[in-house]
Amino acid sequence: MSLSSVQSTLSTLKSCQPDIRACMDMVSDVALGIVEAQGMDNSPALKKLEEMILECSRLDREISCFVESVDEKTAQVRREPPEAMFHLKSSVKERFTELTAGVTDADLQRHSKVVAFRDSVRRYAMQAGQTAAENEEEESDEDIAVTQSQTNFTCPLTQVEMVNPVKNKKCGHHYDQEAVLEMIKAKHKNKKKFRCPKVGCGNADVQQSDLELDLVMKRMIQNHKRQSGKT
């Protein structure tokens, strides 16, 4: 196996990571569906989903460890005589075992998507609880949509209701994912920074890495849409 084929195989493997993260968002969304339908009472199902998301976190982490091992060892091989190639496989394996052995449970819990899962479930349960308290007489899915219609779902960029709201972790403002990514790309192409478009916000440099899909708000928007479609 040549070094260039190692690199191309590695980039294929790396391309799985966004899919794993998208899968983690899906698991979180299923969890919100359970909270919406059954509240926090269905803890076995939530527990199961939490196990699933931690499994994804482990997979994501293992791919990173593998990529790191290969990068490190191939760089080393390049500096050594050609025979070193023969030991590449075993030295990568060894380094990988070393790196994965160092991964703790706390590391897996710290994955941003695992944190987002917990946070979303908690926020959504609170929101649903609040609505139920305000509306004690009748409890249905629609309750959630009613109070949330007062929240602002308009994207400051497109001026229309968001479809995939992302939250800026730095300033807390929301934008529609597609619109904001396009703006960041366009600004960076011209070597400029993208300023948060929310009026009065001092955040002068919005980075893609600051943005996190807000599943709770996404669900609120969908409920709101369903509700307003009925009336």
The dihedral sign for the CA sequence 44, 144, 221, 197: negative
Q: Pick left, alpha or beta for residue 39 (phi over 0 → left; psi -120 to 50 → alpha; otherwise beta).
A: left
Among 91, 147, 203, 227, binds Zn ion (CB under 5 A): 203
Give the DSSP H/E element, type plus range, for residue 55: helix 43-79
**How many angstroms separate the CA atoms of 16 and 212, rounded?**
19
Which CB sits closer to Zn ion, 39 or 197? Answer: 197
11: tokens are 């980039």
By CB under 5 A, residue 198 contacts Zn ion: yes
Which listed residue (29, 201, 210, 227) binds Zn ion by CB under 5 A? 201
Q: How far is the CB of 148 from Zn ion (least distance, A)?
A: 21
- The minimum distance between CB 173 and Zn ion, in angstroms, equals 4
Of the two residues 28 and 177, which places its CB atom closer to Zn ion in the complex? 177
Q: Which stretch binds Zn ion (CB under 5 A): 49-57, 73-81, 182-190, 201-209?
A: 201-209
The answer to the question of residue 195 lying near Zn ion (CB under 5 A) is no
Instruction: Give the footprint of Zn ion on residues 53-72 (CB under 5 A).
Output: none
The amino acid that residue 207 corresponds to is Q
Q: Scanning residues 132 to 171, which ones bind Zn ion (CB under 5 A)?
A: 171
For helices 43-79 and 88-101, the axis angle rounded to 10 degrees is 140
* 173 makes contact with Zn ion (CB under 5 A): yes
Rule CB under 5 A: say whether 22 interacts with Zn ion: no
Q: Which of 53, 56, 162, 196 binds Zn ion (CB under 5 A)?
A: 196
| Choices 2-10, 97-105, 108-116, 196-204; region in contact with Zn ion by CB under 5 A | 196-204
Angle at CA of residue 41, ends 140 and 137, nearest 5°: 30
Residue with tokens 């791919």: 63
Q: Could you tell me if 190 and 138 are in contact, meaning their C-beta atoms sit under 8 angstroms apart?
A: no
Question: Cα-flanking dihedrals φ and ψ of residue 174, to 5°?
Answer: -110, 150
As given in the structure block, the two tokens for residue 89 are 């496989």
Give 60 or 176: the residue with its C-beta nearer to Zn ion.
Answer: 176
- Interface residues with Zn ion (CB under 5 A) are 171, 173, 196, 198, 201, 203
